[in-house]
Amino acid sequence: MSSAFLDRLHSPDRPVMVFDGAMGTNLQVQNLTTDDFGGPEYEGCNEYLVFTNPRAVEIVHRGFLEAGADVIETDTFGGTAIVLAEYDLADRAYELNKTAAALARRIADEYSTPDHPRFVAGSMGPGTKLPTLGHIDFDTLKDSYVEQAKGLIDGGVDLMLVETCQDVLQIKAALNGIEEAFTVTGTRLPLMVSVTMEQQGTMLVGTEMAAALTILEPYPIDILGLNCATGPDLMKDHVKHLAEQSPFVISCIPNAGLPENVGGNAVYRLTPMELRMSLMHFIEDLGVQVIGGCCGTRPEHIAQLAELAKDLRPKERPVRGLSVGAHSGVPLPDPRPALNYTPAAASIYSPQPYDQDNSFLIVGERLNASGSKKCREMLNAEDWDGLVGLAKAQVKEGAHVLDVNVDYVGRDGEHDMHELVSRLVTNVTLPLMLDSTEWQKMEAGLKVAGGKCILNSTNYEDGDERFFKVLELAKKYGAGIVVGTIDEDGMARSAEKKFQIAQRAYRDALEYGLPAHEIFFDTLALPISTGIEEDRVNGRETIESIRLIRENLPGSHIMLGVSNVSFGLSPVARVTLNSVFLHEAIQVGLDGAIVSAAKILPLAKIDPDHQKICRDLIYDRREFDGDIVSYDPLIKLTTLFEGKSLKKKEAIAKDLPINEQLKQHIIDGERIGLDDALAKALEAHPPLEIINTFLLDGMKVVGELFGSGQMQLPFVLQSAQTMKAAVAYLEPYMEKSDSDGSGKGTFIIATVKGDVHDIGKNLVDIILSNNGYKVVNLGIKQPVDAIMQAYREHHADCIAMSGLLVKSTAFMKDNLETFNQEGITVPVILGGAALTPKFVHEDCQNTYSGRVVYGKDAFSDLHFMDKLMPAKAAENWDDLQGFLDEAEPIQKAESPPLPVGEQTDASQVETVQNSKFKIQNPADTTRSDAVDP
C-alpha cells in the first residue's frame, strides 16, 4: 500500500499530525436556517448540507486549513444509510459520501503545498444503534459501512477514520465493511480508529481501554486513539495505556473540556491554550503523534495545536512496521507479539492474558452440549437463562475463558450459537472459546461477540480448505485459534507426527498473517486407560509433543482437553489421573486446558503413592518378568479406587487440635463444619489470635502449594473464600477500640486498577477497623485519581494499595509516580501476591518521594500503624524508625513471598531504605510526617 499520508506520518522527522476541530460546533455558529438544510424534514442532518448548502461545509474546512490543520475530516459522521434513513435519505448514502469527500478533497488540494501537504480523512461515525445490545445485526451494519466507504474512496479521501466508537462490535463491523470496500474498489487506504471513553472510564457498553486494545490489535490499523466525551484530563490514563502497550500510532482528539448546560446549549470552557498545554504533555511524555479537536473546538484551538506541532516531536516509541504481516502479503519475520503488547483474549469488558501468572489458562468446559448432559438438556429446552447461569458458575469457580459448544444432532447450531453467545457477551465478564466442527457455527457466534474470541478448532483432516477457512474467520473477526494435530491421515498418535502437523500449521498460519501468539496447538490427549497396547504410549507421546512444540515453535501456545486421557475409568480414578496428567503437561510447557474445576484436584491432595501410579501409567512404566507383566499401573489404579465414589466425605478430622482443624479448613477450602470449628476455637482464643495464627497459617501453606504448582487457581480461590467466610464469622466477636476509628488514624486501602482480587484487602480492613482505625476501603479496580481523591477527602495518614496480578505491580509503581506529581508523600503500603520485598524496597522506593512499606500480612499493617500514629502525634520518630530498621533486614533475608491466590492481596508492612524520618510542620496535612530527608 503506497500512501502519501503514511509516508508523511512515518517520515524520519516523525511530525505531529494535526487534525481539524468540530464540524458540528462550527456549523452551529453559522446560525443555519431550515432552508439551509433543505426544509424542516432535514433540519439537523449536517451531512445533507453537502447537497443543500455546501458553502457552509466549505467554510468549516477552510477555517481549519487556515488555522494550520494537516488533515480535515469529511462531513459524513452520520453518513451511513442506517442513520440517513431517519431523514428518508438512505438511498443517497453513496452519493452523499462521495460528494462530501470530493468537496473536502478539492479544498484540501487548494491549501496543499510540497512543504505542507494537506490530507482528507473519511469520517465514519458510530451510527445510532449498538449491535452488542441487539439494536442491529452485524451484517446490516457492515453493509452500511461498505456503501459509505465506497463513496468516500471514490470521492478521493486519503485515509479512513472510524471515530467516536462506543461499541467494539460496531468497530468490527466497520472494519470489515471497509475491508470489503477496499476489495471492491481495488484501493487500500490507511486506517484510523478512535474510541470514545466515557467519564466513568469505559466505552458506552462497558469496555475498558485494555480490552479495546486487545480486541483491535489483530486488525490492520495504522492509528488508534481516543476522541470525544471528555477533555484531555480524563484521557490521560487511557493514552498512557496505549503508550505502553499499543503497536499503533496514537491519536488524541479531545473535546474542549466537559460541556456545561447554559440556557439549553452545550458550552465548552477549555481554552485553546489549555488544550495546547495538555496535548503537549501527551506528545512529549507519551508519544502521541496525531492530535486534533472534537466537540467545542474552533479554529483557534487548532491554530494553537498547529503552532505546537511545528517544533515538537513525539517521544520515541516503537510502532508496528508497515510491511509486516499478511495484510501486506508478507510473512511475519518474527512470530512473537509486537512491542509490549500482552497476547490475550477479551470479553467486551476486560482482557484475559493467554499467559497466566502462576497458573494455566483455565477454559471452563461445562457449556458444551456434546459433553455435558445438563447443558444439553438446557439447550433442548432453550433455557437460555439457565445456560447463562452455568457460565456464571464457572466464573466463580475460577475459569479464565468459557468454552461454548452447541453441537447437537437435530438442532440449528447457527441459531443456538447466536442466541447463547448474544446473551453471554453482556452477562459474563470472561472471553469465549467458540467450539464447533463447523465454521458456520463459529461465525454465527463471532457476529454477536464483540470481544476477542478463540476458535476451537481447525485441522487438516479435510486438507487445507477447512484449515484456511478458520484462519480467514480469525483474521476477519480478530480471534485466536486452536489447531488440532490431525491431518489427512487422521489423528496423530506419535510425538513426532503431532509436532510435524503443528509445524505445518505454524508455517501456514504465519504465512497467512496470523501471528504465532494467536495459535493454540491441541496435541490431543488420547486415552491411556483402555488397556489396548497401542494406547499405552498415548500419555508419553502427548507430553513429549508439548515439549517439542514449546522448544521449537516460539511464541505459540499449547492447549489440551484433559479429561479424555482417563476415558472409561471410574469417576474417582479419572479425577486423580486427570489431575496428575495436567500437572505433568504444565511442567513441560502446557499453557491452557479445557477442564472443570470439579474434575481436578490439587496435587497436594493426592496421595504421593497414587501420584506415582498415575505417572507410571502416563509414561508406561510397566514392569516385566520376562514376557509377563509383573506391575501394571493401569490395573493398580483401577483396583485402587474400586468401590470408591466422588461424594464428599467429612474432610476435617474432629480429633485434630483446633488450630490444625482450622488450618486444614483453609488449605482444603472446606466450609462444611467451619462454623463449628470457629465456635470451638472462640472458647479458648480471642478472634484476632484465631485469624493471626490458625487461619493465616493455612493461607501460608496455600501460597506455598500454589507457588510450587501443586495447587491450581480454582482451589486457591476456594481457600480464599473460606478465609473470607471465617473472618466474617469472627468479625462480630471483635471489640472495636474506638467507635468510629477517627481517634487513632485514617487508612485508605484499594485494589489497583485492573485487579479484582480483594479478600486480603478486606482482611486488612477488618483488622484495622477493629483496632480503632478509620478504614476507607475503596474496593477493586481503583484508578489512581480515585485513590488521591479519597486521600484528600479523608486526610488519610496512610495509603495501602493491593493487587494479586503481576501487572498490578506496574500500576502501583505508576501510581507512586502520580503521587509525586501531585505532591503526595504520605506513607504507602504495598501488598499482594506478585510483590517481592526487593521490588518494593528498590524499584518502588526509588520512584516515590515518601516512604514505601512492603506489606507482608494484615497484622503487619496494624503494627506499622500502631508505630506511625504515636510517632506522628509526638513528632518523635525513633520508635518507628527502629521498627523499620529492624524489619528491613529480616525481609531482605526472606525469600520472595509465594503467589498466594488472594492471601495478602492487600497490604502490610516492613520497609524500605534506611533513611531517617523528617519532622514536618504539624500544620502540613498534605504531606507525610514520615518521609525521606
Phi, psi dihedrals of residue 260, rounded to the nearest 5°: -115, 145
Torsion over CA of 472, 478, 482 and 488, rounded to 10 degrees? 10
Q: Residue 71 pairs with which residues in a beta bridge? A: 19, 119
The residue whose grid cell reads 529480616 is: 890
Q: How many CB atoms lie within 10 A of CB 895?
A: 8
Q: How many CB atoms lie within 10 A of CB 399?
A: 26
45 is in an annotated binding site: no
Q: How far apart are the first and last CA of the chain?
A: 58
Query: Is the Cβ–Cβ distance between 452 and 425 less than 8 Å?
Result: no
Packing angle of the helix pair 608-618, 538-552 (nearest 10 deg): 80
858 is in an annotated binding site: yes
294 is in an annotated binding site: yes
User: How far is residue 296's CA from residue 378's CA, in Å, rounded to a whole number?
Assistant: 52
595 is in an annotated binding site: no
User: How far is residue 335's CA from residue 818's CA, in Å, rounded to a whole number?
Assistant: 35
Q: Residue 850 pairs with which residues in a beta bridge? A: 931
Angle ∠(117,123,125) on CA atoms, nearest 5: 160
Chain-centroid distance of CA 404 in Å reads 20
Q: Which residues of 588-623 are buried (b: 16+ CB within 10 A; e: fewer)?
A: bebbbbbbbbebbbbbbebeeebbebbbbbbbbeee
Q: Residue 478 pairs with which residues in a beta bridge? A: none
Q: Residues with Cβ < 8 Å from 812, sequence gap 6 or more?
A: 752, 801, 803, 830, 835, 844
For residue 210, the SS3 value is helix
798 is in an annotated binding site: no
User: How far is residue 330's CA from residue 319's CA, in Å, rounded to a whole number?
Assistant: 17
895 is in an annotated binding site: no
Q: Residues with Cβ < 8 Å from 106, sequence gap 6 or more?
A: none
Chain-centroid distance of CA 177 in Å reads 26
758 is in an annotated binding site: yes
802 is in an annotated binding site: yes
Omega before 2 within 30 of 0, i.e. cis: no
878 is in an annotated binding site: no
517 is in an annotated binding site: no
Q: Which residues are annotated as a binding site for methylcob(III)alamin?
A: 754-758, 802, 858
Q: Which residues are annotated as a binding site?
A: 228, 294-295, 754-758, 802, 858
Q: Which residues are annotated as a binding site for Zn(2+)?
A: 228, 294-295
